[in-house]
Structure 1
Amino acid sequence: MMKLEGRKAIVTGAAQGIGRGIAEELARAGCDVLVGDLLDRPETALAASETLSGIEALGRRALAVQCDVRLEEDCEALVRTAREQLGGLDILVCNAGVMQIGGVSEITSEQWRRVLDVNLTGTFQCCRAALPHMLEAASGVIVNIASTTGLRTSGERVAYSSSKFGVVGLTQALASEVAPKGVRVNCVCPAFVRSGMSVGELMQQTGIEDPARADAAWTKLGEKTGPLGRSVEPSDIGRAVVWLCESEMVVGIALPVTGGNGLPGLT
């Protein structure tokens, strides 16, 4: 029997990209999954339905709920739905996030607030909504999705990098608070992942207008620059999340998943 067989998981921002990869790998490991995303956007709702189909094809239950992580009431409703309709909550993965390119003199205060509100405050609010139920059960796992820019800064992404440093700090603070009460908290720090966000950033930086061409360019970039000869895929992040959920003595870490990109002597 798989370690996570029958566990109930929430993944935010799981309609596509990294979130979908995480949701599908959790399902493959035996979890029923609740997808939280911006379902009031038609394109996101369509993408979420594809994620649900992928989870169900793996033989697991799947639900999708409207969730804007900036809204405390949406985060609370997400947790409530998991308990009422999935039958519990064992795993929370806070993945919802937005990117903003630009240094401190290039971005607006509004852009700064949006990135911090989604990436950091949204993660905090989802954790806070889930924790009372996990603490009551003296059991549970939270995995936050940060970034390698939360470990070493990127000046051209000042808001994004700051938010992800915050996620790493939040993860460590929560871990020290709740580990003695039976709840483990860790985070994953991805880099060079093929996703809508990363391909969109490449389009912005290069001026490529066709998404298919940009995706092909991303593939080529991964083959050329990555020591393993390929870019990191959403499923790679998903498998890292599964490992953290299964690893009972791993607490408070920030796990880089980069395919070796950035290692001295390799790239």
Structure 2
Amino acid sequence: MGRLRGKSAIITGAASGMGAEEARVFAAEGARVTIADVDDGAGERLAKEIGARFHHLDVTDAAGWEALVTSAENAYGTVDVLVNNAGIVVWGGVTDLTEVDLRRVLDVNTIGVFLGMRAVAPAMERAGGGSIINIGSTSGLVGGPKALGYSASKWAVRGMTKAAALDLAPKNIRVNAVHPGLIRTPMSGAAADRTSGTPPLGRIGTPAEVAAVVVHLASDDSGYTTGADHVVDGGRTAGWT
């Protein structure tokens, strides 16, 4: 415990699912956490539960990002960690996904990640460095049926992570991606229904198993790691057995 003591962390989409578990584990590891989400009720309840701050954020709103970073910096002095966790999925393939839905998925999952990295970089530079963790997906490593928009958005997150890692390395800001497979969350229920069989490890993963990897990347233990993909999928992308 205490691996994140003294660090100020912003976690988006943290009112539920993987983000909420990340917020709990970060707080337990000593981080000063800012929970950012559009769900005010759930976000405020979790913040009270773990001793964190809540800030309303629509990740597609650039001005909202600037206000969030200013608020966190004013409250805690620095912004040391950003977890770009917020994301949505709209099911549909080449012929049945609408342009409106594709743009909505890209706005949240891709533009939202870009805006977050852009907003926190100056604050992290002022702090002497930092760690950005972008939550991708195994859908950004391999294709999937009826997931064209989601796959496109997560492949983009993977590419942006590597490009940003190169841009920000001189400022001592590390940027890494975590790619969960099937994880037991409300959003993953439909994905599990569409997938036959189980990963090689024989089960669906848990939010705690993703959070453990995110904590490592946020901590000084990963100080020489940037621009990397970290897959948490029970062996799924290694190939079906």
Could you tell me how far apart the structure 2 residues matched to 1:143 and 1:37 are? Answer: 17
Deviations 1:172-215 (A, max 9, x none): 00001111221100010001011111125557x6xxxxxxxxxx
Could you tell me how far apart the structure 1 residues matched to 2:19 and 2:201 are? Answer: 23
Residue 262 of structure 1 deviates from its aligned partner by 3.8
Could you tell me how far apart the structure 2 residues matched to 1:151 and 1:230 are? Answer: 20
1:16 is aligned to 16
Could you tell me how far apart the structure 1 residues matched to 2:179 and 2:141 are? Answer: 8
Residue 149 of structure 1 deviates from its aligned partner by 0.8
Q: Give the 5 Å matches for 1:81-92.
A: 81-92=71-82
Q: Give the 5 Å matches for 1:46-57.
A: 46-56=41-51
Secondary structure of 1:101's aligned partner: coil
Q: CA contact under 8 A between 1:192 and 1:231: conserved in structure 2?
A: yes
2:182 is aligned to 192
Structure-2 change in CA distance of 1:6 and 1:136 (3 Å): closer
1:260 is aligned to 235
Q: Give the 5 Å matches for 1:3-152.
A: 3-38=3-38, 44-56=39-51, 62-152=52-142
Return the TM-score normalized by structure 1.
Answer: 0.84
Unpaired runs of 5+ residues, structure 2, are none
Among the aligned pairs, what percent are the same residue?
A: 39
2:210 is aligned to 237
Return the TM-score normalized by structure 2.
Answer: 0.92
| Counterpart selection for 1:172 from 162, 171, 186 | 162
In the alignment, structure 1 residue 228 sits paired with structure 2 residue 201: yes
Could you tell me how far apart the structure 2 residues matched to 1:19 and 1:47 are? Answer: 12
Structural RMSD (CA): 1.9
Q: CA contact under 8 A between 1:116 and 1:159: conserved in structure 2?
A: yes
How many residues get paired? 239
Q: CA contact under 8 A between 2:178 and 2:232: conserved in structure 1?
A: yes
Could you tell me how far apart the structure 2 residues matched to 1:178 and 1:54 are? Answer: 34
Q: CA contact under 8 A between 2:35 and 2:43: conserved in structure 1?
A: yes
Amino acid across the alignment from 1:251: T
Query: Mean Cα displacement is larger for which, 146-155 or 105-114?
Result: 146-155
Q: CA contact under 8 A between 1:24 and 1:238: conserved in structure 2?
A: no
Could you tell me how far apart the structure 2 residues matched to 1:2 and 1:118 are? Answer: 32
Q: CA contact under 8 A between 1:13 and 1:97: conserved in structure 2?
A: yes
Amino acid across the alignment from 1:13: G
